[in-house]
A and B are shown apart, each in its own frame.
Chain A
Amino acid sequence: EAQVTQNPRYLITVTGKKLTVTCSQNMNHEYMSWYRQDPGLGLRQIYYSMNVEVTDKGDVPEGYKVSRKEKRNFPLILESPSPNQTSLYFCASRTANNEQFFGPGTRLTVL
């Protein structure tokens, strides 16, 4: 089944403890991206990647890192999480005709 998967789905952590949210897609898509969704603010793009080893900042990149060492994976790294990074995170990949497919989401709480 064609899909975007994320892990973990739920995570509660403490300020400053490094964490990684994994994202994987099995559709051979070149373009992948990360979003966060917050009440009243909607979905905002954090980072995107046009292809392997090519990443760029979205609208809200501060406090996040990404890497794209292989086409299928696009992990999101929070080196020192803070409470304002408590949010619902979505990974997405895109087809050649620009249709986006989203993962199931990761609900992160930073205490």
Chain B
Amino acid sequence: KQEVTQIPAALSVPEGENLVLNCSFTDSAIYNLQWFRQDPGKGLTSLLLIQSSQREQTSGRLNASLDKSSGRSTLYIAASQPGDSATYLCAAHAITQGGSEKLVFGKGTKLTVNP
């Protein structure tokens, strides 16, 4: 059974710092891995999608990497800003034992960027 873990659960940094959020998954049989951002009481916004054949994706100040063999993904945020404060979720698009597929979410890392 696929499980996704995100560490740390919460992170507080001063503005301008570069930071890394971690995501690990137990089963390397994934289609892809997707990072989301969620603001309090709001929906999920897709940030980056990494296909299983890729090693990284970049969008602006964000860079996500994927290492299937070790079951890890990281989200790198450069030059953090207070507006980056949110909960960041990673989700593995997993292949189930029955041959179907589903998105398995981590519980998220709550990021606070202090001015």
Residues of B within 8 A of A105 (CB): 41-43
Contact in complex: B103, A97 (CB < 8 Å): no
Which residue of chain B has its CB nearest to the CB of A50? B100
Over the window 86-113 of chain B, the binary record of Cβ atoms lying under 8 Å from chain A Cβ atoms (1 yes, 0 no) is 0001010100000010110111100000
Contacting chain B: which of A14-22, A41-49, A62-70, A77-85?
A41-49
Q: Which residues from chain B contact A40 at a C-beta distance below 8 Å?
A: 107
CA A89 to CA B32, docked complex, whole Å: 23
**Chain B residue at minimum C-beta to C-beta distance from A4:** B43
Given A97-B49, A98-B31, A98-B49, are A104 and B42 also a contact pair (CB < 8 Å)?
yes
Given contacts A42-B105, A43-B105, A48-B102, contact A104 B43 (CB under 8 A): yes
Interface size band for A: 20 to 34
- The smallest C-beta distance from B14 to any residue of chain A, in angstroms, reads 28
**From residue A18, how far is it (CB to closest CB) to chain B in Å?**
25
Please pick, from A58, A100, A101, the residue contacting B91 in the complex, using a CB distance under 8 A: A100
Q: A100-B91, A102-B43 are in contact. Are A58 and B102 (CB under 8 A)?
A: yes
Distance in angstroms between the alpha carbons of A103 and B34 in the assembled complex: 16
Name the A residues within 8 Å of B100 (CB-CB).
Answer: 56
Taking a contact as CB atoms under 8 Å apart, the answer to whether B102 and A42 are in contact is no
Q: Which residue of B lies closest to A88 (CB)?
A: B41
CB closest residue in chain B, given A90: B43
Task: State A98–B95 Cα separation when bound (angstroms).
Answer: 12
Q: Which chain B residues lie closer than 8 Å to A59 at the CB level?
A: 102
Are B46 and A99 touching (Cβ within 8 A)? yes
Q: Is B7 an interface position by the 8 A CB rule?
A: no
Q: Which of A42, A48, A103 contacts B43 (CB 8 A)?
A: A103
Q: How far is the CB of B28 from chain A (nearest CB, A)?
A: 16
Write the B26-54 contact mask toward A (1 if CB under 8 angstroms, else 0): 00000110101000011111100101000
Question: Quick one: given A42-B105, A56-B100, are A101 and B49 in contact (CB under 8 Å)?
Answer: no
B102 contacts which chain A residues (CB < 8 A)? 45, 48, 58-59
Instruction: Please list the residues of chain A having a beta carbon within 8 angstroms of any beta carbon in chain B.
Output: 33, 40-43, 45, 48, 56, 58-59, 88, 90, 92, 97-105, 107
